[in-house]
Structure 1
Amino acid sequence: MKVAFTPGKNIAIKTPAHEYAAVVHFYQEVLGFKQLPHNAGDPFESVCFAFGDKVLWIDKITGISQSEIWLEIISDDIPAAKKHLEQAGCSIRNEIEALPNDLNAFWLSSPSNIIHLVTDK
């Protein structure tokens, strides 16, 4: 059985704390994107914006020096997806950010070090 992957609805920009306010201002005031409510239990401050059919998360992260883009991928079989990706030589990176216990997902790094959340939701 071939594992299927599709793009998820979330894009995150992990932003250094010293740039956070300017990045939020850019999307909110300069571009005029609609801010969305969210109820994530993350240990950091974040703001969500409508980004076409996606949700753009701006996350304030202490201890990083430059912004990172994180993407979401959906798979209907997480254990098979993880096995497939590991066999393909991909790096599973669950140490980078804790996931909620009830989320069936894992973190993946692409060959260019873009972080992806692989989830079934």
Structure 2
Amino acid sequence: MSAARRGLFGLFGGRKSKRMPREGEGAEPGLFAGGRNMALKLPPHQYEETLRFYRDTLGLPVTVMADGVPVVEFGPMRLWLDRSESVSRSELWLEVVAENAADAEEALAAADVVRCDTIEPLPSGFRGFWVMSPANVVHLVAEPGQDSSEED
């Protein structure tokens, strides 16, 4: 198979993949799913250059949302480019979708997952919350269909 057919990650050898088995107790399978939103929190000195990289250098489609935040269409994902005065280096934040935020909250609390709701306010009535992974990656846990900003 050619490198072009294998794709970018196929360039690193003919690795075979298999799903890792679950270990021990945890949330019921299917309670959580990866969301389509990622946020790249950028310090002011990296913001404009990063926007130009995705929009001009890579030529990816960018939509400016109602709150002024540019969103890069990153394949099936949406990469929000958030200018953040409170970070000194870029941080990647991820979305996890849960059909029921209350059930998700209970499962994550039972697993001693660190909540970090004060990291960024969520809109009034938003059904979700913030957590931190063991690697200090911020995750928004939210019920499906809730985008914090509508497009212009």
What's the TM-score, normalizing by structure 2?
Answer: 0.73
Letter in 1 for 2:44: A
Q: Percent of aligned positions with the same letter in both sequences? A: 32
Q: Which runs of 5+ in 1 are unaligned?
A: none
From 133, 142, 150, give the equivalent of 1:110.
133
Q: Deviations over 1:69-91 (max 9, x none)?
A: 00001001111111111110110
Say yes or no: does 1:92 pair with 2:115.
yes
Letter in 1 for 2:61: K
Structure 1 stretches of 4+ with a deviation exceeding 2 A read none
Mapping of residues 7-86 of structure 1, within 5 Å: 7-40=34-67, 46-86=69-109
What's the TM-score, normalizing by structure 1?
Answer: 0.91
Deviation at 1:9, TM superposition (A): 1.0
More strand per residue: 1
Larger radius of gyration: 2
RMSD of aligned C-alpha atoms? 1.5
State the structure with bigger RCO (CA 8 A, min sep 6), 1 or 2: 1
Paired with 2:131 and 2:66, the residues of 1 have a C-alpha distance of 24
